[in-house]
Structure 1
Amino acid sequence: MRDSITGDARLALDLALTIRHDGNGGVTDDLTGPSALTAWVHARPDAFPHPEQFVAGAAHLTAVRDLRTALRTLFAHAVRPARPSPADATRLLPVPEALRRLNEAAARTPTVPVLDWDGGDGPVVRRRPVPDGGQDPAAALAQAAIGFLAGPDRERLRACHAPRCVRYFLKEHPRQEWCKPSCGNRARVARHHERHRRAG
Structure 2
Amino acid sequence: MTESVSATAHPAPCPPAPGAERYVALDLANSAVALPGGQLVDLLDTPGAAQDWLVRRGLAPVDAGLREICAARLRALREQIRALLAARVGDRPAPADALDAVNDALTRAPAASLLHWSADRGLYRAAAHPTTQIVEHALAALAADAADLLTGPDADRLTACGSAPCNRYLLRHGRRHWCSTRCGDRARAARAYARRTGRTEES
TM value normalised by structure 1: 0.72
| Structure 2 Cα separation of the partners of residues 141 and 12 of structure 1 | 5
Give the length in aligned residue pairs.
162
SS at match of 1:31: coil
Question: Which residue is 1:12 aligned to?
Answer: 25
Shift of 1:157: 0.7
Question: Which residue is 1:186 aligned to?
Answer: 186
* 1:110-144 Cα distance to aligned partner (Å, 9 max, x none): 225xxxxxxxxxxxxxxxxxxx9931222221122
Q: How do 1:1-200 and structure 2 match up within 5 A?
A: 9-45=22-58, 48=59, 51-81=61-91, 95-111=95-111, 134-136=133-135, 137-172=138-173, 174-200=174-200
Shift of 1:15: 0.3
Name the Cα RMSD after superposition.
Answer: 2.4
* 1:71-115 Cα distance to aligned partner (Å, 9 max, x none): 000000111249xxxxxxxxxxx7001101111111111225xxx
SS at match of 1:110: coil
Gaps of 5+ in 2: 1-17, 113-129
SS at match of 1:20: strand
| Structure 2 Cα separation of the partners of residues 69 and 41 of structure 1 | 16
Contact 1:44–1:51 (CA under 8 A) maintained in structure 2: no
Gaps of 5+ in 1: 83-93, 113-131
| Structure 2 Cα separation of the partners of residues 139 and 52 of structure 1 | 19
* 1:143-180 Cα distance to aligned partner (Å, 9 max, x none): 221222221111111100213311100112x2212122
Contact 2:161–2:178 (CA under 8 A) maintained in structure 1: yes
SS at match of 2:100: helix
SS at match of 2:178: coil
| Structure 1 Cα separation of the partners of residues 91 and 144 of structure 2 | 26
Distance 1:14-1:167 versus aligned 2 partners, 3 A rule:
same
TM value normalised by structure 2: 0.71
SS at match of 2:134: coil
- One-letter amino acid of the structure 2 residue matched with residue 154 of structure 1: A
Q: Equivalent pairs: percent with the same residue?
A: 33
